[in-house]
Amino acid sequence: MDGRSLNVAVFDIDGTLAMMDKAKGTYEALPGAIRAMEICREAGMDVWAYTNGTFFTPEHYYPRLADAGIVLDEGRVMTPASVAAHHLHQTGHKRVMVLGAEGTVEPMRQAGFDVVLAGEETGDEARDVDAVLVGWARDFNLAQLTSMVEAVWDGAMPYSVSDAPYFAGAKGRVLGVSGSVGAMIAHTSGVEPTVIGKPAPWGLEMIAEQTGVAARNMVVIGDDPKLEIRMGRVGGAITVGVTTGIAQRHDFLAAPPDWRADIVLKNLEEFDAQDWLFAQEESLT
DSSP string, 207-261: HHHHH---GGGEEEEES-TTTHHHHHHHHT-EEEEESSSS--HHHHHTS-GGG--
This prediction has a pTM of 0.88
pLDDT for 4: 76
Query: What is the number of domains present in the chain?
Result: 2
- Pick the residue with more confidence: 172 or 36? 36
Residues 173, 89: one domain? yes
Residues 96, 114: one domain? yes
* Average pLDDT for 242-249: 92
pLDDT for 274: 72
* Residue 66 falls inside a structural domain: no
Per-residue pLDDT tens digits for 51-78: 988 888 899 999 999 999 999 999 999 9
* Residue 285 falls inside a structural domain: no
pLDDT for 20: 84
CATH number for the domain spanning 206: value is 3.40.50.1000
Residues 187, 251: one domain? no
Per-residue pLDDT tens digits for 173-223: 666 678 888 899 999 999 999 999 999 999 999 999 999 999 999 999 999
* Residue 224 falls inside a structural domain: yes
pLDDT for 179: 82
Residues 203, 179: one domain? no
pLDDT higher than threshold 80 for residue 242: yes
- Pick the residue with more confidence: 178 or 39? 39
Residues 38, 132: one domain? no
- Helix axis angle, 102-110 to 80-90, nearest 10°: 40
pLDDT for 277: 67
pLDDT for 238: 94
The domain boundary residue, chosen from 195, 225, 240: 195
Residues 213, 108: one domain? no
Per-residue pLDDT tens digits for 101-158: 898 999 999 999 999 999 886 666 666 899 999 998 878 899 999 999 999 999 999 9
The domain boundary residue, chosen from 174, 195, 216: 195
Residues 100, 177: one domain? yes
Range of the domain at 29: 8-52+199-277
Residues 189, 204: one domain? no
User: Which candidate, 65, 63, 60, 57, places its Cα nearest to that of 84?
Assistant: 57
The domain boundary residue, chosen from 195, 216, 238: 195
Give Cα 166 to chain centroid, integer Å. 13
